Amino acid sequence: MQAQVLTQPRQVEEHPLQRVDRPLPEPGPDEVLIKVRACGVCHTDLHIVEGQIPLPRLPLVPGHQVIGVVESGSAPLLPGTRVGVGWLNRTCGTCPFCRSGKENLCAEARFTGYHVDGGFASYLTAPREFLYTLPELFSDLEAAPLLCAGIIGYRALRLCGALSGERLALFGFGASAHLTLQIARHRGLEVYVFTRSPARRRQALELGAAWAGEAGETAPALADRAILFAPAGHLIPQALRALRRGGTLAIAVIYLDQVPRFDYRLLFEERCIRSVTASTRQDGRDLLQAASEVPVRVQTEPFTFGEANRALSLMKTGDLQGAAVLIF
């Protein structure tokens, strides 16, 4: 099979992913073999290939927003069944976190395209119990970004405590934020978007944002909740300035650069900062249902399998026109 393999983290401009031939992977007793049809390209993939987060193993095949069909399996996952593979690959199932519905915090959790080879390949294996059934409403191209960008935005929306009638501020406006905005609007929230890109500001307004401007600008009113989607620590003080008393800022990134010192008064008055760590399978199921109910418009930019490095490079420079997806 063909795979895009990372043997050594490097800057994406140096094309760290190499296309190679590999043997077909062998599924374990609780796994199925999946033929990949599409795989979304995520900011986490960028952090992995550039070594911004520590890697548990090399060589590695990235990719964790995978749409494919079962190649070999048994009922109910018969060959030809379309399935989704997300970031959460498996958990121990027995620890207090797993037993209490917080499996994303399991110390033994393993993640797709990080601990195990992911979807930047023509085939992969995955545990049956961690696969998603996909709504027919979404094509392979549209469904791929839902499996991480959609899920993590949905979890962030829940963890920040956003309620109908409140104002929500989104900092950064890429694949995850454009999906989160639509679900928030469907739930009756007024949404403000902060992004440096004029094109992204126009996109946000087209998707229903009440206001869009650059970080540091003053929105029409203070927000009740906020979500940071950009891996930029310097935006945290600006996000806190945009929050009312008692508001919550959720940080929906796996990697964040240096957080600057800031005046405690920005955090005072019971403002809250909380991180968002991975997701649970229930988050994924709930997101797919919510995306169908809206239904969300998934804006994508397709790339061929051989263009994985190029897709990551455009993501890094902010020049993508939609959620990047590799098509097989």
CATH of the domain at 214: 3.40.50.720
What does residue 180 show for φ and ψ, rounded to 5 degrees?
-60, -40
Residue 285 lies in a domain: no
Question: Which domain range does residue 202 map to?
Answer: 150-275
Q: Enter the tokens of residue 203.
A: 């996109």
What's the pLDDT tens digit per position in 146-190?
999 999 999 999 999 999 999 999 999 999 999 999 999 999 999
Q: Tell me which H or E stretch contains 314.
A: helix 308-317
Statement to judge: residues 46 and 170 lie in one domain: no
Report the chain's mean pLDDT, rounded to a whole number: 96
Q: Is residue 280 part of a domain?
A: no
CATH number of 129's domain: 3.90.180.10
Contact (CB, 8 A) for 104 and 279: yes
Q: What is the pLDDT of residue 216?
A: 87
Residue 72 shares a structural domain with residue 118: yes
Residue 284 domain-assigned (yes or no): no
- Say what the pLDDT of residue 168 is: 98
Residues 133 and 224 both lie in one domain: no
What is the number of domains present in the chain?
2
Query: pLDDT above 70 covers what percent of the chain?
Result: 99
Q: How far apart are CA 103 and CA 90, in angstroms?
A: 9
For residues 208 and 307, state if they share a domain.
no
In a domain, 291, yes or no: no
Backbone φ and ψ for 9, nearest 5 degrees, come out as: -60, 135
- Residue 47's pLDDT is 97
Asked whether residue 224 carries a pLDDT value surpassing 90, the answer given is yes
Domain identity same for 119 and 200: no
| 310 within domain boundaries | yes
Residue pair 31/321 in contact (Cβ under 8 Å)? The answer is no
- For residues 173 and 61, state if they share a domain: no
Residues 317, 250 share a domain? no
Does residue 283 fall inside a structural domain?
Answer: no
Reduced 3-state DSSP string for 142-199: HHHHHHCHHHHHHHHHHHCCCCCCCEEEEECCCHHHHHHHHHHHHCCCEEEEECCCHH
What is the reported pLDDT for 75?
A: 67
CA–CA gap between residue 134 and residue 147 (Å, rounded): 10
Q: Look at residue 24 and tell me if it is in a domain.
A: yes
Residue among 5, 63, 77, 4 at smallest CA distance from 34? 77
- 130 and 253 fall within a common domain: no
Rounded Cα distance, 121 and 4, in Å: 6
Distance of CA 232 to the CA centre of its chain: 16
pLDDT-wise least confident of 76-85, 147-156, 285-294, 297-306: 76-85
Please indicate, yes or no, whether residues 154 and 133 belong to a single structural domain of this protein.
no
CA-based nearest residue to 177, from 159, 161, 198, 201? 201
Q: Are residues 270 and 208 in the same domain?
A: yes
Q: Is residue 209 part of a domain?
A: yes
pLDDT digits (tens, 9 = 90+) for 8-36: 999 999 999 999 999 999 999 999 999 99
User: 38 with 124, same domain?
Assistant: yes
Q: Do 133 and 18 share a structural domain? A: yes
